[in-house]
Structure 1
Amino acid sequence: MTFQNPLPLLIFYANHIFGEKIDVFIITAILIFSLHSFFILLVANRFQYFVNSSSDSSGKYFRFIVYTIAMLFIMMSHLMDLLYFSYVMDCMKVFSDPLTAFYFVGEMYTTLGYGNYQLGPEWRGLPFVIGFTGLFSASISGAGLFTMLQYLGKSPFNKSQ
């Protein structure tokens, strides 16, 4: 069995699946994921600082309320991802209706794939880009929430935990 150079095949896929206009969406996906990741790290860092600096008298119930607010911020960050992708799709005129673009992005970002949307040949790679962005954004959000949940159970005064 001989192995061939994979570069020509990758170039073929890039030209035929992802087309020329998809570069804007790949750059958008990288930007969205980077901003989303930094935001999650910021929220988790601030939550850790809050838990470590809060007094024991504030109790775990108050920390849980702050954790719930942090979850809402993270959910809002996902909504901002959807709106940003929808805005870019509307600017690129992928769909004639902005609401259709939002529904399409929502279904691809959450990887539900329920809709019956007909994309032109130049946009066939778009679901992959949006789906992977949603998948990795949800993963980093889950990791941040899990980390914050660990800090929620720890007391800043009990150093043995």
Structure 2
Amino acid sequence: MFTQVEIKDYETLNKMLKSLVEDETDRIANLANASSLLNMFLKDINWVGFYLYQEETNELVLGPFQGLPACVTIENGKGVCGTAFRGNDIFIVDDVNEFPGHIACDANSKSEIVLPIYKDGVGIGVLDIDAPIYSRFTEEDRLGLKAFVETLIPYI
């Protein structure tokens, strides 16, 4: 069984991701492995996963994740995930209780980072990571996770 360890070098993490996904064509398998990889190697997080955009309903729907059961749907433009997706902007929230309209799926989550995923200009969804501590996510995380998403995009 794997234990959670911290990788301080996102470049190494992103190389690990590429080696996991480069020979796999199944989108769900690649998202599942990506969430597992992040869960293994990011310190002080309590949830990591993907919400996938469904154009028919204009919602983000729960995809592969690691953590406690989560909200199944999030309306586009609502909460941290929907707001980040709609604006195609990375959001770092130091205190989720201060984010207007925050959707609390886990009361233990204190801070959050959400990265929108767009492929060829089309919205795919978001990568959402929660932490049980305030101000968990840094500029280094924003840049490293942005590179992580960019590494993953060709394989989803």
TM over 0.5: no
Which has more radius of gyration? 1
| TM-score when normalising by structure 2 | 0.32
Name the structure, 1 or 2, with higher relative contact order (CA <8 Å, separation 6+): 1
| TM-score when normalising by structure 1 | 0.31
Structure with the higher helix share, 1 or 2: 1
